[in-house]
Structure 1
């Protein structure tokens, strides 16, 4: 992208990537480190289920005990016990249908087609989750193709053992959900800060390009917010079940309050960005709105600090309260054009959301804003 003078913008200039970065092992090592507990869960659950079915129940090759454990846990970040249990039930449904149909019609290509069709129809009827139906179909195909055991429904017992071990491991060896949740929270807060920084730059310089870039960054916040919500819900579900994480419930509830209001704040930042991008089309700098948004940006960083240390919440509230008291557009920008007044007015709901995220009751946060 070029500016009106035909020069390449530093915001869109190509960044050279060296061969060392292309072949760097760091991303792979980060993935391994992030999945270490998940890998340990899968290994323990699958091995334990296999040994239990083999040594205790006397099953010669309890393959389904291991596969159900592996498939139900997986490496996905969302390891809520409910999700794991839902996947286990889907697999057991598939195994049960395969066992019944095998007794009735035997095995073969058309029997496999029939089994898959019946399994997926039944699974879709029972549960709305596509994952449930796919898990059921995979396990039904495996159960139909494997050699028949000495007793009917023996493989259903193997699958039940694998599922029980998966759920137990989820509770007794949790995946450190707080770490993933905090990582996702920091991504949201860093994105919010970057978007606000670009908008401030656009306002200070009367630069529509930077303001537009701030709007793009603000719009891109929704996906990180959704990822944070998923990891937070997973952490809350695991902490409700795991005896080792119950002490984190209050902290997670506080994070849920921050998430809810940072989601609203991100939406309101998009409103601010759109109005900023509109008013700077004339190329005139807006120092006062830029200063106000810069203060909001610094206060939002304090809200982020409070995720790790609740002691940061009072300073965040005081900083935001001081900003809120000055957000009367007519006082801040007397005789300003309507667009500039609307820009300052758009900061009001943003500051209210951040005040609530910092722990202020909604009524008090609303009262902190002067009436207009």
Structure 2
């Protein structure tokens, strides 16, 4: 594959990833839009506040936080707004509005927040809101309504999360499928790099494998959010077993990603040094990539991927055969394949001990029997 063709393929892949990322976040985007509108409506039309700027802003900020910390963070936002509003109004009343007043207001507001034992979010909010209050002076008697507007925005955000948390229940499973599908794609590219002796593709695949950790971090955050939702929302507690099942995938997925990185790094070294890798080992990688795609598809369809156990068991049996022509890189890859089989079997619901037992001991015509690499 030429450099131009590879760049074009990478551009198409990135475009698809960005569209998929936007679609996956559409629920959150729409939720923020509705939350901002409802917060403004309550403050403006119900309570008749004039220009309730802080209500929709606080709603959006609160909805953007991870749910597991949202109660504490919303409180911090509201306190930060209160400190900022009070400090800003006090300085404007006595010293007016100007450049030096703005600088002093920010320092004082953030210092007060720090003295209150606030975290960085509260301190930043105090500074930001004091700037807004100092530059956008409220009409007489309106300062207290701005604090109340922040409270309204925070409460609307919490209400939206508790009564309409469909995305926190659905997205962890979707993200788990995305992570597993990425593992399969990296394995497939590794096979191509080895088969075509493509050093550039091997390097790109290694970088991709190293970057896959952030996808798992996102899954961790989504799982924590989903568990928090079902525990706090009385309408969603029946979904706790399903959300917990996805959270239980985090440990084997983390191991699979670590083993994959070792495998891809060794494959890249083999490509750079032109070390031969047995065809049988390339076939193992291809089979593992296909099985990983099957697991991702079943996760996407809300099924425990038990059907993948047959393919994984077959890969485990084939990976026990040592090819005497394999060098160091080939043997390291074979060992990592066997470790990944254990990890993926755990994704299908098997406990770790039972998953290990599915991987037979290695044997070969010139190699003594050794325990399976697990």
The reply to whether TM is greater than 0.5 is yes
Residue 166 of structure 1 deviates from its aligned partner by 2.4
- 2:338 maps to which residue? 348
Matched, 1:45 2:36: no
Contact 1:41 1:170 in 2 (8 A): no
- 2:366 maps to which residue? none
- Alignment partners' CA distance in 1, 2:310 and 2:10: 43
Contact 1:208 1:277 in 2 (8 A): yes
- 2:69 maps to which residue? 82
Contact 1:194 1:217 in 2 (8 A): no
Q: How does 1:16-95 map to 2 (within 5 A)?
A: 33-34=26-27, 35-54=29-48, 59=49, 62-73=52-63, 76=64, 78-80=65-67, 82-83=69-70, 85-95=72-82
Residue 285 of structure 1 deviates from its aligned partner by 5.0
316-325 or 190-199, which deviates more: 316-325
Which residue of the other structure, out of 86, 100, 108, is the alignment partner of 1:99?
Answer: 86
* Deviation string, structure 1 residues 108-132 (Cα, Å, up to 9, x no partner): 3344433311222344563444x43
Aligned CA RMSD, in angstroms, stands at 3.5
Residue 289 of structure 1 deviates from its aligned partner by 0.9
Residue 287 of structure 1 deviates from its aligned partner by 0.8
Which residue of the other structure, out of 185, 190, 194, is the alignment partner of 1:199?
Answer: 190
Contact 2:35 2:156 in 1 (8 A): no
Residue 361 of structure 1 deviates from its aligned partner by 0.7
Name the SS for the 2:2 alignment partner: coil
Residue 290 of structure 1 deviates from its aligned partner by 0.8
- 1:157 maps to which residue? 148
- Alignment partners' CA distance in 1, 2:188 and 2:278: 14
- Alignment partners' CA distance in 1, 2:325 and 2:181: 35
91-100 or 343-352, which deviates more: 91-100
- 1:265 maps to which residue? 256
- 2:348 maps to which residue? 358
Residue 61 of structure 1 deviates from its aligned partner by 5.2
Matched, 1:277 2:271: no
Give unmatched runs, 5+ long, in structure 2: 362-370
Matched, 1:293 2:285: yes
Which residue of the other structure, out of 97, 106, 117, is the alignment partner of 1:108?
Answer: 97
* Deviation string, structure 1 residues 94-115 (Cα, Å, up to 9, x no partner): 3235326745863433444333
Contact 2:223 2:243 in 1 (8 A): yes
Residue 195 of structure 1 deviates from its aligned partner by 0.8
Q: Call closer, same or farther: CA 1:289–1:29 in 2, change over 3 Å.
A: closer
- Alignment partners' CA distance in 2, 1:351 and 1:28: 29
Q: Call closer, same or farther: CA 1:88–1:72 in 2, change over 3 Å.
A: farther
Q: TM-score, normalised by structure 1?
A: 0.78
Matched, 1:12 2:6: yes
Residue 274 of structure 1 deviates from its aligned partner by 1.5
41-50 or 286-295, which deviates more: 41-50
Residue 316 of structure 1 deviates from its aligned partner by 1.8
- 2:368 maps to which residue? none
- Alignment partners' CA distance in 2, 1:351 and 1:339: 18
Q: How does 1:230-269 map to 2 (within 5 A)?
A: 230-269=221-260
- 1:4 maps to which residue? none
- Alignment partners' CA distance in 2, 1:14 and 1:248: 42
Which residue of the other structure, out of 290, 295, 303, is the alignment partner of 2:295?
Answer: 303
Contact 2:187 2:285 in 1 (8 A): yes
Residue 196 of structure 1 deviates from its aligned partner by 0.4
Count of residues paired in the alignment: 350
Q: Call closer, same or farther: CA 1:238–1:312 in 2, change over 3 Å.
A: closer
- Alignment partners' CA distance in 1, 2:264 and 2:5: 17
Q: Call closer, same or farther: CA 1:317–1:116 in 2, change over 3 Å.
A: same
Q: How does 1:174-213 map to 2 (within 5 A)?
A: 174=165, 176-213=167-204
Q: Call closer, same or farther: CA 1:136–1:53 in 2, change over 3 Å.
A: farther
Contact 2:177 2:299 in 1 (8 A): no
Which residue of the other structure, out of 212, 215, 219, is the alignment partner of 1:224?
Answer: 215
